[in-house]
């Protein structure tokens, strides 16, 4: 089943035990490149990256002999080393820079309450109608391209899975003493595996509390089976621990009591049942009002809901249309006022989607080239080497080298034009990312309001 299609409402059911207290933890900023995928791209051992070792296992899984850094969540927990939060912030910064440079997100995301002046005729004093010279509704150029659809982020609870009821099970598949696998079962009417996501409990499916990414998701007989790495499911309260006079302590991955006992499974989808456009008219001022203040025009604009169609997907050209939602569909209607609106607000879902995602072979829509470009920029901008592994240090030293310097130790650099033109910066990782992406910008795709 392709993640780009499917159906199902995801009716919430209780898998076992009702009610679970919310966790009071600070989330990482939501990034298109997940932290786990970043660690994989840079070569960081995943268990160490998530702050754990398994010292009581024999033989020890992910030994620390040659790569002994165990990552903390915050810089104040271990001042001598880079933290996951610092990496997350650099990833977020890199993604925002790529969004600005390309004109569209490297992976799908929702944009809300985006305001635009409604398209006017040449004579700005004339409001005109809501139609162009071909008789079709006027278009708006959205801020971002590669629009998939109008809509808003929808989150519907499918199930809370518990260890007590057997819907969250930890397994040791290779019999080495370490329970490396988590298997989650959720009864659902959802048929699109790309819409099924796992979250910490108690946060209503907030994207910052998503646990990414599963190894696999399958749906059979109305039950979704989600397989994940168990090191993603440590109790997040463990990450908040204060350092003591003994220093920062790693989580014992061999202790299964430190793993979550419950997770939320949600359907995350593009909700088109709510308005994806809103028209607004400035209220006309009444200069001589003998009717009394109660009957005069006020300072609140006149607004009207509408839907949104896409005329140019890559270019971000959309058509907001006044409409009413009823019985599962939108019905076009006339403007609430007898003139074109003054401005319009948009809600839409936009971004690039990788082929592996579109063909149903992966749950992460972020394409490999974008994932690598984000990792390059983020790593190049880290204030110091990310870890004690020589292989990871070599990558950091290579990507963080500033090509604008005429020489750096024994290395000498000659600045090429594309390096000078890089909007990301002159570090090698930033320049390499720009070389990968500079032919994919929205302005080279071409945009015309039609």
Backbone angles phi, psi at 350, to 5 degrees: -145, 155
Distance between CA 178 and CA 68 in Å, rounded? Answer: 19
DSSP 8-state secondary structure symbol assigned to residue 448: -
Task: Return the H-helix or E-strand segment holding 147.
Answer: strand 147-150
Q: Return the CA Rg of the chain.
A: 26
Strand ranges (DSSP E) for 248-335? Answer: 251-252, 262-271, 277-281, 302-312, 317-326, 329-332
Angle at 437 between CA 431 and CA 438, to 5 degrees: 80
How confident is the model at residue 246, as a pLDDT?
77
Contacts of 345 (CB under 8 A, 6+ apart): 113, 114, 115, 116, 277, 278, 280
How confident is the model at residue 7, as a pLDDT?
45
- Tell me the β-bridge partners of 278: 305, 345
Q: Hey, is 162 helix, strand or coil?
A: strand
How confident is the model at residue 19, as a pLDDT?
41
Listed residue (365, 183, 199) closest to 267, CA to CA: 199
Angle at 46 between CA 40 and CA 50, to 5 degrees: 125
How confident is the model at residue 327, as a pLDDT?
84
Regions of the chain short of the pLDDT cut 70:
1-24, 64-68, 121-135, 285-298, 388, 405-414, 442-450
How confident is the model at residue 238, as a pLDDT?
93
How confident is the model at residue 12, as a pLDDT?
45
**CB-CB contact of 106 with 331 (8 Å):** no
**CB-CB contact of 365 with 108 (8 Å):** yes
CA 143 to chain centre: 18
How confident is the model at residue 276, as a pLDDT?
96
How confident is the model at residue 130, as a pLDDT?
62
> How do the domains of the chain map onto residue ranges?
13-71+155-269, 90-104+358-445, 109-152+272-350
How confident is the model at residue 388, as a pLDDT?
66
Contacts of 430 (CB under 8 A, 6+ apart): 376, 377, 380, 381, 422, 424
**CB-CB contact of 113 with 359 (8 Å):** no
**CB-CB contact of 296 with 286 (8 Å):** yes
User: Where do we find the tokens 């972020």?
Assistant: 366
Backbone angles phi, psi at 263, to 5 degrees: -140, 155
User: Where do we find the tokens 């998701």?
Assistant: 217
DSSP H stretches of helix in 184-238: none
User: Where do we find the tokens 């005729």?
Assistant: 121
CA 30 to chain centre: 6
Listed residue (442, 409, 447) closest to 98, CA to CA: 442
Torsion sign (Cα): 421, 423, 426, 430:
negative
CA dihedral 353, 357, 363, 366 (to 10 degrees): -30
How confident is the model at residue 85, as a pLDDT?
96
């Amino acid at each position: 089943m392709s993640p780009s299609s499917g159906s199902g409402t995801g009716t919430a059911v209780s898998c076992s035990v009702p009610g679970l207290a919310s966790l009071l933890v600070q989330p990482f900023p939501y990034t298109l490149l997940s932290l786990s995928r970043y660690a994989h791209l840079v070569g960081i051992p995943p268990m160490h990256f998530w702050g754990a070792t398994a010292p009581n296992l024999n033989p020890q899984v992910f030994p620390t002999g040659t790569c002994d850094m165990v990552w903390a969540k915050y810089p104040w927990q271990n001042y001598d080393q880079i933290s996951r939060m610092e990496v997350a912030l650099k990833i977020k910064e890199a993604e925002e820079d790529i969004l600005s440079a390309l004109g569209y997100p490297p992976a799908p995301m929702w944009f809300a309450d985006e305001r635009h002046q409604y398209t006017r005729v040449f004579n700005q004093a004339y409001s005109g109608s809501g139609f162009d010279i071909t008789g079709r509704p006027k278009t708006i150029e959205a801020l971002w391209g590669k629009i998939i659809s109008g809509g808003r982020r929808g989150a519907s609870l499918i199930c809370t899975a518990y260890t007590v009821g057997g819907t969250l099970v930890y397994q040791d598949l290779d019999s080495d003493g370490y329970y490396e696998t988590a298997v989650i079962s959720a009864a659902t009417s959802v048929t699109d595996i790309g819409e099924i996501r796992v979250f910490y409990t108690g946060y209503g499916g907030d994207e910052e509390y998503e646990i990414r990414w599963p190894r696999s998701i399958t749906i059979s007989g109305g039950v979704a089976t989600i397989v994940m790495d168990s090191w993603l499911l440590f109790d997040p309260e463990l990450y908040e621990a204060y350092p003591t006079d003994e220093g920062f302590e790693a989580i014992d991955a061999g202790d299964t009591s430190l793993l979550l006992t419950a997770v939320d499974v949600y359907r995350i989808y593009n909700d088109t049942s709510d308005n994806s456009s809103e028209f607004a008219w400035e209220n006309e001022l009444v200069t001589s009002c003998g009717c009394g203040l109660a009957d005069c025009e006020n300072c609140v604009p006149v607004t009207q809901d509408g839907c949104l169609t896409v005329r140019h997907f890559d270019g971000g050209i959309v058509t907001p249309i006044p409409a009413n939602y009823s019985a599962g569909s939108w019905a076009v209607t006339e403007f609430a006022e007898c003139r074109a609106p003054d401005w319009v607000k948009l809600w839409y879902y936009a971004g690039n989607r990788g082929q592996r995602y579109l063909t149903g072979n992966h749950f992460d829509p972020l394409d490999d080239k974008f994932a690598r470009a984000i990792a390059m920029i983020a790593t190049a901008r880290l204030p110091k080497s990310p870890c004690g592994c020589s292989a990871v240090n070599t990558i950091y030293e290579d990507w963080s080298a500033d090509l604008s310097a005429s020489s750096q130790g024994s290395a000498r650099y000659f600045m090429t034009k594309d390096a000078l033109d890089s909007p990301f910066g002159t570090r090698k990782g930033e320049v390499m990312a720009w070389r990968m992406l500079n032919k994919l910008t929205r302005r080279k795709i071409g945009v015309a309001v039609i």
